[in-house]
Structure 1
């Protein structure tokens, strides 16, 4: 249906970068340039405008991009309708997922492996970003389905809950904090390391602390780090504490590399959600993956 040249164009238009598109598509930048040049020759107009080291869509490029997104949606609907009429029809499937760091690293790998065993012809891409950027990627049609730490309040997004997780306070076994019995009020005087702005983990910590009249600006923040692994590695060698998902530190807690710091009367739970653009709720492939994932985690451990 949509030609390979147009698929390449869609990716370049999404990323606004030949380099990033080549990394996503696993082809060389020169190969991408040839495909774009062929399209520009076919349409007799430029599709991208080069400004220094960046590129932008021309009016013709924007028109082509918007129409191709509509065509892709129609193609998905056609495949779904044809499958309903002919069970022998097996269309090529390519699903692009986006998930926040915790989910990408600690929740999805097992379920993706199990799902791909049942759907060996599926081409699946997983993009790992913080929750704020996953929502943006979904709205920009860069991904088909997002998995984040909280339901979205955007009007054109639907959210489906599927798994509850706990965020806990941890510190290094060499930190003097491990001997203290902390209260919520003590957090105002306790050195802490936090995730970056836009992190779903940070957002739920901020929300729960606010319910106890604690503002993040009141905390003695030693450092802010991008990503769960960076924060985990920092707190392992520092004296500060950090709030991290229990799933992310399970191995470190078991090995003794990190210590759980219970804080009196403080419980931080959050629910992971699938997020979709409105209008895609009935797409068979997306709903099948959502149902499979919910069943997978509903099974007894």
Structure 2
């Protein structure tokens, strides 16, 4: 068993719901169910009873829950004690991130990591993917979490962490429900991220496949802030393209809504989130720990 599986189990037990736990863990409900089933198979016992109100621990589940909390606490204490052997230089962690992970995925994750490693000196820099890559080459950053792939021929290591989804968003009052063909965008008021955003580049590639140019669209505004874009969409100034991570809160609050796309378009808007770092043989201790923290748990690392 892995530590993060105990954390998933604890979250389900406390939330008393697979769906609520999935939202808290930034996982799909089938993924959470799979981990619980895996634990039940491993221990040879049913850990949860399913009810109309959610789930509740079985007698065996109560035992596992007690041990899971103790194991998690012991592991946290172990990590903190090991950090005591690291010198100050080995405790510096400078993380670069492109806008989606930097603004919506990593802040809570870094807080969780800092809680496990209180002596770590953690800094987060949010910038465009290309600038994060360059800063790692120049040793200004320890590592990066970016949208999209590394440039061809790059010597950096890239580990896939999760796949987000680019969505078309509109105000809750909009009458728009679906977009069947990408050509329909030509007649719609669009509020787009500025040219350096990876989301903008994905949209340009999608348009080129349909023999369209960005200039063929009815762009009413270009903004370099996801927050500003969401505010403009909420005010019904137009529609936009943003990642699910960026919009899930206002969608949940019924301030904006996601517009359905036909399956062929939607599958081309998968947004890969990757961890990138240099191939140094011996990274300082805290960097190695953070790389392991992300790569061993993948999307389970994100809050």
TM-score calculated relative to the size of structure 2 = 0.64
Q: Out of 259, 262, 266, which is 1:261 matched to?
A: 259
* Segment of structure 1 superposing worse, 268-277 or 204-213: 204-213
Alpha-carbon shift at residue 296 of structure 1 (Å): 6.0
Pair 1:188–1:87, CA change in 2 (3 A):
closer
Aligned partners of 1:103, 1:87: CA distance in 2, in Å? 26
Secondary structure of residue in 2 paired with 1:235: helix
Specify the alignment match of 2:246 in structure 1: 248
Specify the alignment match of 2:171 in structure 1: 172
The answer as to whether partners of 2:177 and 2:259 remain within 8 angstroms in 1 is no
Specify the alignment match of 2:191 in structure 1: 193
Pair 1:291–1:91, CA change in 2 (3 A):
same
Pair 1:183–1:94, CA change in 2 (3 A):
same
Total equivalences in the alignment: 215
The answer as to whether partners of 1:116 and 1:122 remain within 8 angstroms in 2 is yes
Q: Out of 149, 152, 157, which is 1:151 matched to?
A: 149
Aligned partners of 1:192, 1:142: CA distance in 2, in Å? 36
Aligned partners of 1:211, 1:152: CA distance in 2, in Å? 22
- Counterparts of residues 1-301 of structure 1 (less than 5 Å): 89-92=85-88, 93-153=91-151, 154-176=153-175, 178-179=176-177, 181-264=179-262, 265-267=264-266, 268-279=269-280, 284-294=285-295, 295=297, 297-298=299-300
Larger radius of gyration: 1
Question: RMSD in angstroms over aligned alpha carbons?
Answer: 2.6
Map Cα deviations across residues 180-223 of structure 1 (whole Å, 9 max, x no partner): 65421211222211111221222223233333433322211111
Aligned partners of 1:131, 1:244: CA distance in 2, in Å? 16
Pair 1:163–1:189, CA change in 2 (3 A):
same
The answer as to whether partners of 1:102 and 1:248 remain within 8 angstroms in 2 is yes
Aligned partners of 1:124, 1:219: CA distance in 2, in Å? 42
Aligned partners of 1:299, 1:202: CA distance in 2, in Å? 26
The answer as to whether partners of 2:177 and 2:260 remain within 8 angstroms in 1 is no
Higher relative contact order (CA 8 A, sep 6+): 2
The runs of 5 or more residues in structure 2 that have no matched partner are 1-81
* Segment of structure 1 superposing worse, 133-142 or 103-112: 133-142
Pair 1:280–1:234, CA change in 2 (3 A):
farther
TM-score calculated relative to the size of structure 1 = 0.64
